[in-house]
Amino acid sequence: MSDIIQLLPDHVANQIAAGEVVQRPASVVKELLENAIDARSTSIKLIVKEAGKTLIQVIDNGIGMSDTDARLSFERHATSKIRNAQDLFELNTKGFRGEALASIAAIAHVELKTRQEQDDIGTEIKIEGSQVVSQEVCVTSKGTSICVKNLFYNIPARRNFLKSNTVELRHIIDEFHRVAMAHPDIKFDMLHNGSEIFNLPITNDRQRIVNIFGGKTNEKLVPITEETDLVRVGGFVGKPQYAKRSRGEQFFFVNNRFIKSPYLNHAVNAAFEGLLKDKAHPSYFIYLNVDPQFIDINIHPTKTEIKFEDEHALYAILRATIKHSLGQFSVAPVLDFNRDASMDTPYEYKSKSAKAPTIEVDRNFNPFKEEKLNINDSKRKYIPNYKAQSAGSWESLYEGLESEIQVAAASDENKSSTIEFESTQVTGSLFADEDTKVGHQTTYQLKKKYIVTTIKSGMVIIHQNRAHQRILYEELLKSITMANAVSQQLLFSLKLAFSKTEMALLETVKEQLQNAGFVFGDKHMGEIEINAIPAIVSEKEVSTLLEQLLSDLENEVPETGFSQTDLLAKSIAKSVAIRTGVALGTEQLHYLANSLFACTEPSITPDNKSTFITMTVEDIDKKF
């Protein structure tokens, strides 16, 4: 039998490697930004067109490359970061496998311009599908500029799997955030289709976070810091009252590398135990510095997962550090048995000297002097002169006491005869109805979750939350499409803070929100003003509703107008619908039951879950 195993051609091997390294345009952005950081750049610019499908360009002012290095950088497993296997356990750089540029060049058109500081001229290389088209000298500034055009041009199947421009741009921005937050000592700029999205100057960790997520973020942050032999912890956590329903503002960095760790995320949630609302997630920006010998980075192709040598100790340190900071900054209640608040010196007394105490004496006071007191202007009581009484005539002290008691009792009796009591009139219930009479009620609430009502064939059990979702969903769809929703004007405008990414998402559905009943005012400095809200929404629900909407939009951003309207109606209905555990009156029970069966699709929710079940008499008979 002939041999059947053979070596793959380089361009095929590169395309296979590209499948691990490059899933979408955001993967290219991540690799190019990390290369620019490893080149010791102090200023990096990212230029994107059509969400990276047409162009991704990264320009840096780093050390640049020689003409030989420029050519070698596109070869597989060619790297300047490691020399032997031991270096894998002492990594202080971003990339190290030497596959990124080779993989990118296999599936795109790449143009590289680079120059070292000591050279007068630089090198320009053009590659198409792993084939070097040209290599020439060129005039360029110090550093490196690399353009990636027409991504997946030679793999149309992969290109067809890309999402809409809005979704792909969101992924690019996420990668940009992760790199920019880890390196506040580098200036970052980002442009999309010619318009500037981010301009981040060199600053500190806190200000970098504020520049990315908006000015209002500053007041939400609580600093954390701890240093042990195992790890050095720094960064910030968000105050519990600003916790969101989405996990968008949760970042772990280990040695300035973004990672994902469900285990450490659990440690943070454990530190916030008892401080968060139901289904709320805390924000955190945590920087961990660990000896590279105690971690293994190379366990995942994207290097976003890391294996720690002692995870349990790290868990305990992180949890304790966050708890300590929340207590130290009076975010969480603490018990301090050593401190006595009564011993604290008031602020205004700090600079004052102590005064000698003074004693005031009333020299005219005489306890044995006879006094007269007026009682009811009708009877005078005389206090005898105790000095004049002899020690043996103590009985005289009680003279007249019996007559005073009798007078007081008679006075109280007259008063009690004139006291009037307010009668309580028993009225009927607010929702009086014949069906509420005993023996005639046909609709009940079970466990504050289900509505049980009778029908001709038996009974129906309705899930109150899902039923209300269906009712609201159809009402909202009708209101948004016909633009006839009823709004309620707010006495004081609501001002809500959002990041640039969230503001851009809201802008895509602004028209549908206005048709649903929202009225927006001015928009500035990461804040949006809301002057009116839909009639079915209460003022305290607006913030939660918009957070839920943004979360839904981030996970499933639709392209067409109808899909946006549908998603908006689903999100609002889910946020506003009556929750499980809410007690309902008879009128409300009847309204939900009747409104549900008046819907076009009463049997399922907008998310295709059952809203009710029926049980016929025969089904009940089978149970006996």
Q: How many domains does the chain have?
A: 3
Domain of 161: which CATH number?
3.30.565.10
Q: Is there a domain that residue 111 lies in?
A: yes
Co-location of 182 and 251 in the same domain: no
Q: Which domain holds residue 595?
A: 443-614
Please indicate, yes or no, if residue 372 is contained in any of the structural domains.
no
Domain boundary among 328, 356, 388: 328
**Is 83 a member of any domain?**
yes
What span, in angstroms and rounded, lies between the C-alpha atoms of 118 and 134?
A: 24
Distance CA 167, CA 149 (A): 19
- Are 245 and 160 members of one domain? no
Residue 415 lies in a domain: no
Question: Does residue 78 contact residue 72 with C-beta atoms inside 8 Å?
Answer: yes
Q: Note whether 303 and 450 are same-domain residues.
A: no
Are both 214 and 111 inside the same structural domain?
no
Residue closest to 468 by CA, chosen among 592, 609, 614: 592
Please give the single-letter amino acid code of residue 475.
Answer: E
The position carrying tokens 């709320």 is: 280
The reply to whether 528 and 603 lie within a common domain is yes
Residue 56 within a domain = yes
Strands 307-308 and 295-296: antiparallel
Domain-embedded: residue 393:
no
pLDDT of residue 428: 40
> Given CA atoms 290, 295, 297, 303 in this order, what sign does their dihedral have?
negative
Q: Where is the domain boundary, 200, 223, 246?
A: 200
Q: Does residue 434 fall inside a structural domain?
A: no
267 and 154 fall within a common domain = no
Element (H, E) at 238: strand 231-238
Same domain for 452 and 577? yes
Domain with residue 456: its CATH number is: 3.30.1370.100
Query: Do 215 and 140 share a domain, yes or no?
Result: no
Write the CB contacts of 122 (distance below 8 Å, at least 6 apart in sequence): 64, 113, 114, 115, 116, 137, 138, 139, 140
Q: What is the pLDDT of residue 436?
A: 40
Distance of CA 173 to the CA centre of its chain: 17
- Using the 3D structure, point to which of 141, 176, 200 is the last residue of a domain: 200
Q: What is the dihedral of CA 547, 551, 553, 554, to 10 degrees?
A: 130
Q: Confirm if 135 and 123 have CB atoms less than 8 A apart.
A: yes
485/516 Cα distance (integer angstroms): 5
Does 489 share its domain with 510? Answer: yes
Q: Which DSSP string do the residues of 348-394 spell out, in sequence order?
A: GGTTPPP--------TT--TTS--EEEETTTEEEE---TTTS-TT-G
Q: What is the pLDDT at residue 318?
A: 92
Token pair belonging to 617: 């008499």
Contact 189, 45 (CB under 8 A): yes
Along the chain (624 residues), what's the average pLDDT of each consecutive run of 10 residues? 74 65 86 89 93 92 88 76 56 62 88 91 90 90 92 84 83 91 93 90 92 84 90 91 81 89 89 83 90 71 72 90 84 60 62 78 78 49 48 58 62 54 44 42 81 84 90 83 76 82 80 83 79 82 81 65 74 83 85 86 86 87 85
User: Which stretches of 126-257 are DSSP H helices?
Assistant: 156-160, 165-182, 205-213
Which H/E stretch holds residue 237?
strand 231-238
CA–CA distance, 250 with 263 (Å, rounded to integer): 13
Q: Are residues 257 and 196 in the same domain?
A: no
What is the DSSP annotation of 482-498?
A: HT---EEEEEEEEEEE-
Q: Single out the residue of 135, 128, 179, 146 nearest to residue 64, CA to CA.
A: 146
Cα–Cα nearest to 493, from 543, 436, 532, 544: 532
405 found inside a domain: no
Contact between 477 and 608 (Cβ < 8 Å): no
Q: Check residue 111 and give its pLDDT.
A: 93
Q: What is the CATH number of the domain that holds 217?
A: 3.30.230.10
Q: How many residues does the chain have?
A: 624
Residues 188 and 275 in one domain: no
**Structure tokens of 110?**
């790449």
Mark whether 561 and 587 lie in a shared domain: yes
What is the distance in angstroms between the CA of the first residue and the CA of the last residue of the chain?
A: 72
